[in-house]
Copies of this chain bind each other. A is one copy, B any other.
Amino acid sequence: MTPPTDPSDPSAWTGRFSPRMAHVRASEIRELLKLLDQPDIISFAGGIPDPALFPLERVQAAYAAVLAENGQAALQYSVSEGLPALRAWIAERMTAAGAPCGLDNILITAGSQQALDLIGKLFLAPGDTVLVERPTYMGALGAFNAYEPTYAALDLAGPPPAGARLAYVVPDFANPSGRTWPRREREALLDLAEAGDLVLVEDAAYRELGFGGTAEPALLALDIARSGSIEAARTLFCGTFSKTLSPALRLGWVCGPRAVIDRLVLLKQGGDLHASTINQMVAARVVSEGHEAHLERLRAAYRAKSEAMQAALARHMPLGVSWSKPQGGMFVWVTLPPGFDGAQLLEACLAEERVAFVPGAPFYAVEPDAASLRLSYSLPTADDIDEGVRRLGRAIAARMGGAMAKVG
């Protein structure tokens, strides 16, 4: 029998894929950034934790202890909602941070990326609208796209557009902008969410990495303060151990009303059964002792790198370039003069200056502004930060006449 289509023809496969795949595309940027392993490139692209800051000795000790004391359980299946000891630690910490909750308000996920995927799966049907910041976290779009939503810019002046279901925000030390939402904007967002019956997704990936200023209350905490209890809240708080402990364990969590967590548990079960048992046991052990001192060490290290980058930007950027001044996290957002294209600049920088970053456009779900880029300072040394920013400044300056002429 001859098959109706020829499987050896890759385009034949395209016809077999679900329509959702029209929304799921390889990122050209990610492809480009795969080429960054050359040692002479100074990279501000990553946005990954400095591995020198991993609590390696404590993690080693925890794996050894967990396997010695409870090895058979550590290697066995476990429940989809996650290890009770780890959920209890998280619930206590959320409660202490102003979001009173219990074990049953927590689902352990494979990093906060999976939290976003499961939330998209639970709430989004094709054509639903997700409200996002401009710029927003590219990875969230990667998670939501599979559920075929449309996007609109989040506008606190409201009202939300018809069909809006979810609002997704990174309110603390955001990826990519480095921005932190002030209290009054958080309150305005909650007003908007109530008015439009929106589900609020609070991506708190960098929240623990503040540089020492006053922390703003979490959206979930403000929501609970208004609504009286987590069960009456509409905010889903997505936390992660990827930035504070290790991304390789693939552990994050969602904290929210039980009515939502219960459904997310079902989707987690159908999706991958549960998070790694042994990694959950190790994380519970590592955070139970010395975690605050470890966080202080991280904050100090990233603050020093951030200061190095701010100094380098002030030193090397030509007039007409502006940038954010993060109070935590790993990112600076750079606004280029009008007419610049971050993607073209990246190609030139890789070829001529051996410095890398992520162009700004892919961080926009709507109305991309190409004259922007994201710098991460989490990985390079202070010396490399200065040298890399010097190269970047030189590349921008070399192009400024032309770019300005184009728009002027």
- One complex includes copies of this chain to the number of 2
In the complex, what residue of chain B is closest to A54 when comparing beta carbons? B75
**Chain A 130-162 interface residues, beta-carbon cutoff 8 Å to B:** 139, 142-143, 145-147
Stretch of A246-254, A292-300, A352-360 at the chain-chain interface: A246-254
Cα–Cα distance between A13 and B146 once the two chains are bound (Å): 22
| In contact, B17 and A263 (Cβ under 8 angstroms) | yes
Please, what's the 1-or-0 string for A166-200, where 1 marks a CB less than 8 Å from any CB in chain B?
A: 00000000000000000000000001001101010
Chain B hits for A232, CB < 8 A:
6-8
Please tell me if A117 contacts chain B, counting CB pairs below 8 Å.
Answer: yes
Closest chain-B Cβ to A246's Cβ sits at a distance in Å of 4
Cα–Cα distance between A73 and B37 once the two chains are bound (Å): 14
Stretch of A21-29, A303-311, A362-370 at the chain-chain interface: A21-29
Stretch of A94-102, A121-129, A211-219, A394-402 at the chain-chain interface: A121-129
| In contact, A54 and B77 (Cβ under 8 angstroms) | no
Chain B hits for A269, CB < 8 A:
142
In the complex, what residue of chain B is closest to A232 when comparing beta carbons? B8
Stretch of A106-114, A312-320, A335-343, A383-391 at the chain-chain interface: A106-114
Please tell me if A267 contacts chain B, counting CB pairs below 8 Å.
Answer: yes
Q: Enumerate chain A interface residues (CB-CB to B < 8 A).
A: 1-8, 10, 13, 16-21, 24-26, 48-49, 51-52, 54, 56, 59-60, 63-64, 67-68, 71-78, 109-111, 113-114, 117, 121-125, 128, 139, 142-143, 145-147, 165, 191, 194-195, 197, 199, 227-229, 231-234, 242, 246-250, 257-260, 262-263, 266-267, 269-279
Q: Using A117-B271, A125-B20 as known contacts, say yes or no to A72 and B59 having CB atoms under 8 A apart.
A: no
Cα–Cα distance between A191 and B274 once the two chains are bound (Å): 36
| In contact, A59 and B75 (Cβ under 8 angstroms) | yes
Chain B hits for A278, CB < 8 A:
246, 248-249, 279
| In contact, A199 and B114 (Cβ under 8 angstroms) | no
Given A3-B195, A249-B276; 7 other pairs, CB 8 A cutoff: A51-B76, A54-B71, A77-B248, A110-B110, A117-B270, A139-B273, A145-B270
Closest chain-B Cβ to A79's Cβ sits at a distance in Å of 8
In the complex, what residue of chain B is closest to A191 when comparing beta carbons? B1
Chain B hits for A10, CB < 8 A:
231, 257-259
Chain B hits for A234, CB < 8 A:
3, 7
Closest chain-B Cβ to A4's Cβ sits at a distance in Å of 5
| In contact, B77 and A48 (Cβ under 8 angstroms) | yes
| In contact, B272 and A123 (Cβ under 8 angstroms) | no
| In contact, B25 and A197 (Cβ under 8 angstroms) | no
| In contact, B114 and A271 (Cβ under 8 angstroms) | yes
| In contact, A76 and B247 (Cβ under 8 angstroms) | yes
In the complex, what residue of chain B is closest to A223 when comparing beta carbons? B7
In the complex, what residue of chain B is closest to A142 when comparing beta carbons? B270
30 cross-chain CB contacts under 8 A? A3-B195, A8-B227, A8-B228, A8-B231, A10-B258, A16-B123, A16-B197, A18-B121, A24-B263, A24-B266, A24-B267, A26-B262, A48-B76, A51-B75, A56-B72, A75-B246, A75-B247, A76-B246, A110-B272, A113-B270, A113-B273, A114-B272, A117-B270, A117-B272, A121-B146, A139-B273, A250-B274, A250-B276, A271-B271, A278-B279
Q: Using A18-B121, A48-B76, A77-B247 as known contacts, say yes or no to A270 and B146 having CB atoms under 8 A apart.
A: yes
A76's partner among B143, B248, B277 (CB-CB below 8 A) is: B248
Closest chain-B Cβ to A31's Cβ sits at a distance in Å of 11
